[in-house]
Amino acid sequence: MRGFLVGLFCLSAATICLAGETSQRIVVAGSGLTEIVHALGAGDRLVGVDTTSLFPARAGELPQIGYLRALSAEGILSLRPNLLLATEDAGPPAVLQQLSSAGLEVLRAREGFEPEAVAARIEMVGRALGKESEAAALQATLLADIARVQAALPVAGPKPRVLFLLAAGSAVPMVSGRDTAASAMIVAAGGVNAVDAYRGYKPLTPEAIALAAPDFVLTTEQSLVALGGREALLRLPAFAVLARSGGLRVLSYDAVYLLGFGPRTAHALRDLAAAIHPARQLPALPHRPWLEARF
Amino acid sequence: MRRAAPLVAAALLAMALVGALALGPLRLPVGDVLGALGQLAGLSLQADPQALAVVGSLRLPRALLAALAGAVFGLAGAMTQGLFRNPLADPGVLGIAGGASLGAVSAIFFGVASLSVWALPATGFVGGLAAALLVSRIARSDGRTPVATLLLAGIAVNALAMSLTGILVYASDDRQLRDISLWLMGSVGGATPLRIWILVPFAALLLAGLPFFARGLDALMLGEREAVHLGIGIETLKAGVIGCVALAVGAVVSCVGPIGFVGLVVPHIARMILGPGHRLLLPVSALASAALLVAADTFARLAVAPAELPVGLVTAAIGAPFFAAMVARSKRRLAL
Least confident of A225-239, B8-22, B123-137: A225-239
Report the distance separating Cα A184 and Cα A269, nearest Å: 10
Minimal CA separation from B168 to chain A, in Å: 12
Minimal CA separation from A77 to chain B, in Å: 7
- Inspect the interface and report whether the beta carbons of A78 and B24 lie closer than 8 Å: yes
Domains and CATH numbers, chain A: 14-149 (3.40.50.1980), 161-279 (3.40.50.1980)
pLDDT tier at A122, thresholds 50, 70, 90: very high
* Sequence spans of domains, chain B: 5-334
Amino acid A295: pLDDT = 65
Of B114, B306, B310, the CB nearest to A78: B306
Mean pLDDT along residues B145-156: 89
Mean pLDDT along residues A147-173: 89
Amino acid A20: pLDDT = 47
Amino acid A89: pLDDT = 85
Mean pLDDT along residues B85-109: 87
Instruction: For chains A and B, count residue pairs whose Cβ atoms are closer than 8 Å.
Output: 97
Mean pLDDT along residues B252-281: 88
Minimal CA separation from A138 to chain B, in Å: 29
Amino acid B322: pLDDT = 79
pLDDT tier at A170, thresholds 50, 70, 90: low
More confident residue, B4 or B173: B4
pLDDT at B12 over 90: yes
Q: Give A 58-87 residues with CB within 8 A of chain B.
A: 63-67, 69-79
| For testing contact with chain A, the best of B26, B50, B184 (most A CBs within 10 A) | B26
Mean pLDDT along residues B31-41: 87
The CATH homologous superfamily of the domain defined by B5-334:
ABC transporter involved in vitamin B12 uptake, BtuC (1.10.3470.10)
Amino acid B178: pLDDT = 81
pLDDT at B304 over 90: no
Amino acid B190: pLDDT = 79
Contact A177, A202 (CB under 8 A): yes
* Cα B255 from chain centroid (whole Å): 10
**In the predicted model, what is the mean pLDDT of chain B?**
88
pLDDT at B88 over 80: no
Minimal CA separation from A178 to chain B, in Å: 11
Minimal CA separation from A64 to chain B, in Å: 6
**What is the tens place of the pLDDT at every residue in B193-235?**
888 999 999 999 998 988 889 999 999 888 888 888 888 888 8
Of B176, B306, B310, the CB nearest to A76: B306
Amino acid A210: pLDDT = 80
Least confident of A2-11, A72-81, B121-130, B220-229: A2-11
pLDDT tier at B283, thresholds 50, 70, 90: very high
| For testing contact with chain A, the best of B173, B175, B187, B302 (most A CBs within 10 A) | B173
Mean pLDDT along residues A86-98: 88
pLDDT at A18 over 50: no
More confident residue, B226 or B15: B15
Report the distance separating Cα A67 and Cα A18, nearest Å: 32
pLDDT at A152 over 50: yes
More confident residue, A158 or B171: A158
Measured between alpha carbons, how far apart are the two ends of chain A, in Å?
A: 43
Contact B263, B288 (CB under 8 A): no
Contact A232, A167 (CB under 8 A): no
Other Cβ atoms within 10 Å of B2 Cβ, number: 11
Residue-wise burial string across A281-292, b where 16 or more C-beta atoms lie within 10 A, e elsewhere: ebeebeebebbe
- Inspect the interface and report whether the beta carbons of A200 and B310 lie closer than 8 Å: no
pLDDT tier at A1, thresholds 50, 70, 90: very low
**What is the tens place of the pLDDT at every residue in A24-66?**
999 999 999 999 999 999 999 999 999 989 899 999 899 999 9
Kindly list the residues of chain B whose beta carbon comes within 8 Å of any beta carbon in chain A: 24-27, 53-54, 57-59, 114, 117, 170, 172-176, 178-179, 182, 187, 189-192, 301, 304-308, 310
Mean pLDDT along residues A246-258: 90
**Share above pLDDT 90 across residues of chain B, in percent, rounded to a whole number:** 44
Report the distance separating Cα B242 and Cα A272, nearest Å: 59
pLDDT at A9 over 70: no
- Inspect the interface and report whether the beta carbons of A200 and B172 lie closer than 8 Å: yes
Report the distance separating Cα A33 and Cα B76, nearest Å: 46
Give contacts of A98 with chain B, Cβ < 8 Å.
57-58, 192
| For testing contact with chain B, the best of A50, A78, A97 (most B CBs within 10 A) | A78
The answer to whether A101 faces chain B, any CB pair under 8 Å, is yes
**Share above pLDDT 90 across residues of chain A, in percent, rounded to a whole number:** 62
Amino acid B82: pLDDT = 92
